[in-house]
């Protein structure tokens, strides 16, 4: 499995990093007991089921059943081969790859490589060529200095129609790959032309920092051209699952404790220039559940700073609703004065005042009440009553009684209505919400699981155990003992025990081979030795809550439990055959099957008596 990379080097790399630090770049982990837990990066969930064991250096998700060591995580998260994952982790540990391996570079997805080449090409044109001076002049007008241009890898696409096409063609990309990339448009006669022309180019990077798309800002005054032109969706780019600057911002978020959500990438750039490093933005579209989940894996502290105009405030309102639906977010909202967007505000008032605006972000309730005031004429008594009723509905949804009381006191002072009257109104609003919640719960109980919000993604059917839960638990316990105790393993082998599930038996056989062929034995190292389909079984077995030591008597008990399950399963099959024989009137088969069931029941009785005797 190690391929061309020496096994000693693989062990050195694995031992040189802490899996908690590596996974912590993708998931916000919290220490709970001996393990770290967080939201799974491989499927959506509301309650954390993703666990990382620092002592044994592996991870496991109790929801989707993925598990393994640091190499397996990188393979799953970044869609890497095993050698590529070793190379990536070695890079994190500042360990150079062996010279023999470097001579045979791993092939990357050609579309990802192409976008990296295109991003470098555009950036070089902007920074070093005469043809790029037009783009550089525009960048300076927008107050984008050299540090910003380098940090965001900003480039320039010249006005010529085939500059990028010619460059990439010479790099060896095929016509089919160029068409698939989305970087070109095709004429009626089949010729390809650069999609982006005379535009300042912003690479859109995936979570791991690889460019997968572009957004081009028009620098001419031609209003017939769109102000921003984005890449179409491709096999490597889905706009609803990408956040601009996410790969960089998530690193800062762990230090600063939050992410700041903007509407567009220019807002992120302007905020970065003003000292706000943890900014992210969607691709000019409304926020999606996928993007919310990406954010939630990193932090639950989010500041929303959309444009201050009416569309921006409405978009912020929708985003707040989406975060509330996901639950467990600590939200702050910034509404800039004079309907300014962040870029305009920074230019007008400077970085320090903008940072103060971010620090002064208001709560979702304050934001909602502020919007509500603008909706009604509070000098009109009828509209004032409508405002208070709507405000009570919002305050009633707050979980904290302290928060409710704070807003009631404030509302009473603003409106001149007594606190007692407002509390009575609040009680009615809470009763209404309880009735609605009960009705909604009943309706959701009738819905198929896939239509429920944040439906859990179950493991494929082939991964779901087909044996009874008791037997599965016994197998786990026996495999745990088989791997962890030389005495237990020898005892099971001496008595000819075979795991009923082929996967467990394969894992046991692989452990024997591993122990015989390796001087340095570790569970994390074993995971690199076994086929991928066995890794989750091994990790889930070790992660199960089991006593540390197992006696030979308990081994017998677990084997007996498996045997009892086998007998029950066999009896069940025979009973189905008896029903079939009865329908056919086959008396001879009925007699034979009945005798077989009686023998199995006797065998089960003897097994249970033996189990009872061993437990005394």
Residues 287/322, Cβ–Cβ less than 8 Å: yes
pLDDT recorded at residue 385 = 86
Tell whether the torsion through CA atoms of 453, 457, 461 and 467 is positive or negative: negative
Q: What is the CA radius of gyration of the chain?
A: 31
What DSSP state is assigned to residue 394? Answer: H
User: Could you tell me the residue ranges of all domains in the chain?
Assistant: 7-93, 110-237, 246-362, 378-439, 469-550, 564-613
Going from the C-alpha of 263 to that of each of 142, 305, 331, 332, 365, the distances in angstroms are 18, 8, 16, 15, 21
pLDDT recorded at residue 277 = 93
- CA-closest candidate to residue 87, choices 66, 67, 110, 107: 107
Q: Which residues touch 526 (CB under 8 Å, ≥6 apart)?
A: 483, 510, 511, 514, 538
pLDDT in tens, 394-404: 888 888 888 88
pLDDT recorded at residue 565 = 76
pLDDT recorded at residue 351 = 93
pLDDT in tens, 586-613: 788 888 888 888 887 877 777 666 655 5
Please determine, for residue 412, whether its predicted confidence score (pLDDT) is greater than 80: yes
pLDDT recorded at residue 382 = 86
- How many CA within 13 A on the CB side of residue 160? 11
pLDDT in tens, 375-385: 888 888 888 88
pLDDT recorded at residue 396 = 86
The strand pair at 35-38 and 30-32 is best described as antiparallel
pLDDT in tens, 16-37: 999 999 998 889 898 988 899 9
pLDDT recorded at residue 330 = 92
pLDDT in tens, 186-217: 998 889 999 999 999 999 999 888 999 999 99
| Greatest mean pLDDT range, 21-25, 251-255, 420-424 | 21-25
Query: At the fourth CATH level, which superfamily is domain 7-93?
Result: Zinc finger, CHC2-typedomain (3.90.580.10)
- CA-closest candidate to residue 228, choices 213, 214, 242: 214
- Among the listed ranges 1-10, 325-334, 491-500, which one has the minimum average pLDDT value? 1-10
Which parts of 469-557 are beta strand (E)? none
Residues 62/51, Cβ–Cβ less than 8 Å: yes
What DSSP state is assigned to residue 150? Answer: H
pLDDT recorded at residue 422 = 85
The residue among 220 and 501 whose pLDDT is bigger is 220
Kindly indicate the confidence band of residue 440, based on its pLDDT and cuts at 50, 70 and 90. Answer: low
Kindly indicate the confidence band of residue 615, based on its pLDDT and cuts at 50, 70 and 90. Answer: low
pLDDT recorded at residue 249 = 93
Owner of token pair 């570790």: 522
The answer regarding whether domain 246-362 maps to CATH 1.10.1060.10 reads no
pLDDT in tens, 61-105: 988 888 889 999 998 888 787 888 898 899 888 888 887 665 445
Kindly indicate the confidence band of residue 460, based on its pLDDT and cuts at 50, 70 and 90. Answer: very low
- How many Å apart are CA 82 and CA 103, to the nearest integer? 17
Going from the C-alpha of 428 to that of each of 102, 432, 434, 438, 440, the distances in angstroms are 71, 6, 10, 16, 19
- CA-closest candidate to residue 13, choices 79, 103, 67, 84: 84
pLDDT in tens, 45-55: 888 889 998 98
- Please report, in angstroms and rounded to a whole number, the separation of the first and last CA atoms in the chain: 47
pLDDT recorded at residue 47 = 84
Question: Collapsing DSSP states into helix, strand and coil, what is residue 568?
Answer: helix
pLDDT recorded at residue 611 = 58
User: DSSP characters for 297-323?
Assistant: HH-SEEEE---SSHHHHHHHHHHHHHH
Please determine, for residue 563, whether its predicted confidence score (pLDDT) is greater than 80: no
Question: What percent of the chain has a predicted confidence (pLDDT) above 70?
Answer: 89
- How many CA within 13 A on the CB side of residue 82? 17
Residues 521/11, Cβ–Cβ less than 8 Å: no
Please determine, for residue 3, whether its predicted confidence score (pLDDT) is greater than 70: no
Please determine, for residue 171, whether its predicted confidence score (pLDDT) is greater than 90: yes
Give the tokens for residue 281. Answer: 């933005």
Query: At the fourth CATH level, which superfamily is domain 110-237?
Result: DNA primase, catalytic core, N-terminal domain (3.90.980.10)
Q: Which residues touch 370 (CB under 8 Å, ≥6 apart)?
A: 335, 362
- How many Å apart are CA 571 and CA 593, to the nearest integer? 10
The residue-averaged pLDDT of 363-384 equals: 86
Burial 32-42 (b: 16+ CB within 10 A, else e): eeebbbbbbbe
| Number of helical (H) and strand (E) elements in the chain, helices listed first | 27, 15
Give the tokens for residue 167. Answer: 């460059």
Q: What is the mean pLDDT of the chain?
A: 84
Q: What are phi and psi for residue 488, nearest 5 degrees?
A: -65, -40
Give, for 33, the enclosing helix (H) or strand (E): none
| Greatest mean pLDDT range, 66-80, 234-248, 509-523 | 234-248
Residues 224/145, Cβ–Cβ less than 8 Å: no
- How many Å apart are CA 185 and CA 196, to the nearest integer? 9
The residue among 3 and 272 whose pLDDT is bigger is 272
pLDDT recorded at residue 437 = 67
What DSSP state is assigned to residue 4? Answer: T
pLDDT recorded at residue 107 = 59
Residues 393/428, Cβ–Cβ less than 8 Å: no
Question: Collapsing DSSP states into helix, strand and coil, what is residue 223?
Answer: coil
3: number of Cβ within 10 Å: 13
Residues 20/36, Cβ–Cβ less than 8 Å: yes
- Among the listed ranges 108-117, 164-173, 341-350, 524-533, which one has the minimum average pLDDT value? 524-533
The residue-averaged pLDDT of 101-123 equals: 81
Going from the C-alpha of 347 to that of each of 44, 227, 341, 527, the distances in angstroms are 39, 20, 10, 54
């Amino acid at each position: 499995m190690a391929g061309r990379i020496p096994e000693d080097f693989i062990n050195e790399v694995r031992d040189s990093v802490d899996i908690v630090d590596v996974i912590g770049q993708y998931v916000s982990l919290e220490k709970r007991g001996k393990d770290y837990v967080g939201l799974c990066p491989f499927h959506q969930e509301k309650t954390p089921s993703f666990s990382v064991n620092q002592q044994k250096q592996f991870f496991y998700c109790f929801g989707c059943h993925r598990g393994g060591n640091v190499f397996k995580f990188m393979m799953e998260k970044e869609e890497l081969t095993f050698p590529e994952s070793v190379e990536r982790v070695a890079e994190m540990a500042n360990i150079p790859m062996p010279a023999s391996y470097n001579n045979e570079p791993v092939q990357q997805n050609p579309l990802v490589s192409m976008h990296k080449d295109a991003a470098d090409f555009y950036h070089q044109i902007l920074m070093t060529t005469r043809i790029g001076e037009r783009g550089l002049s525009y960048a300076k007008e927008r107050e984008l200095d050299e540090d910003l241009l380098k940090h965001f890898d900003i480039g320039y696409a010249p006005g010529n129609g085939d500059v990028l096409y010619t460059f990439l063609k010479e790099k060896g990309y095929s016509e089919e790959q160029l068409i698939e990339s989305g970087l070109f448009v095709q004429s009626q006669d089949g010729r390809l032309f650069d999609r982006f022309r005379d535009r300042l180019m912003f690479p859109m990077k995936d979570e791991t920092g690889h460019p997968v798309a572009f957004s081009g800002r028009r620098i001419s005054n031609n209003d017939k051209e769109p102000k921003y032109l984005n890449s179409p969706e491709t096999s490597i780019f889905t706009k609803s699952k990408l956040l601009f600057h996410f790969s960089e911002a998530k690193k800062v978020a762990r230090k600063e404790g939050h992410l700041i959500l903007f509407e567009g990438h220019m807002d992120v750039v302007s905020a970065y220039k003003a000292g706000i490093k943890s900014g992210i933005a969607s691709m000019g579209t409304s926020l999606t559940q996928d993007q919310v989940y990406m954010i939630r894996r990193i932090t639950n502290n989010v500041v929303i700073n959309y444009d201050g105009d009416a569309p921006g405030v409405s978009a912020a309102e929708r985003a707040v609703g989406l975060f509330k639906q996901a639950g467990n977010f600590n939200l702050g909202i910034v509404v800039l004065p004079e309907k300014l967007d962040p870029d305009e505000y920074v230019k007008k008032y400077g970085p320090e005042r903008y940072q103060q605006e971010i620090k002064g972000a208001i709560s979702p309730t304050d934001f909602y009440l502020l919007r509500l005031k603008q909706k009604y004429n509070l000098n009109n008594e009828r509209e004032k009553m409508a405002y208070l009723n709507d405000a009570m509905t919002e305050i009633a949804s707050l979980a904290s009684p302290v928060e409710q009381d704070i807003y009631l006191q404030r509302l009473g002072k603003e409106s001149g209505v007594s606190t007692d009257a407002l509390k009575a109104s609040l009680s009615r609003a809470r009763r209404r919400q309880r009735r609605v919640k009960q009705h909604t719960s009943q309706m959701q109980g009738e819905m198929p699981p896939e239509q429920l919000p944040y439906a859990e993604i179950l493991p494929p059917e082939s991964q779901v155990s087909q044996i009874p839960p008791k037997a599965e638990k016994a197998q786990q316990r026996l495999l745990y003992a088989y791997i962890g105790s030389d005495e237990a393993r020898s005892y099971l082998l001496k008595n000819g025990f075979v795991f009923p599930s082929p996967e467990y038996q394969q894992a046991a056989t692989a452990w024997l081979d591993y122990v015989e062929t390796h001087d340095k034995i570790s569970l994390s190292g074993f995971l690199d030795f076994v086929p991928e389909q066995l890794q989750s079984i091994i990790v889930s077995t070790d992660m199960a809550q089991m006593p540390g030591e197992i006696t030979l008597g308990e081994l017998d008990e677990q084997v007996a439990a498996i045997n009892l399950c086998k007998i029950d399963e066999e009896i069940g099959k025979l009973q189905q055959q008896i029903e079939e024989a009865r329908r056919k009137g086959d008396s001879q088969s009925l007699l034979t099957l009945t005798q077989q069931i009686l023998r199995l029941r006797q065998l089960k009785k003897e097994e249970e008596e033996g189990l009872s005797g061993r437990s005394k």
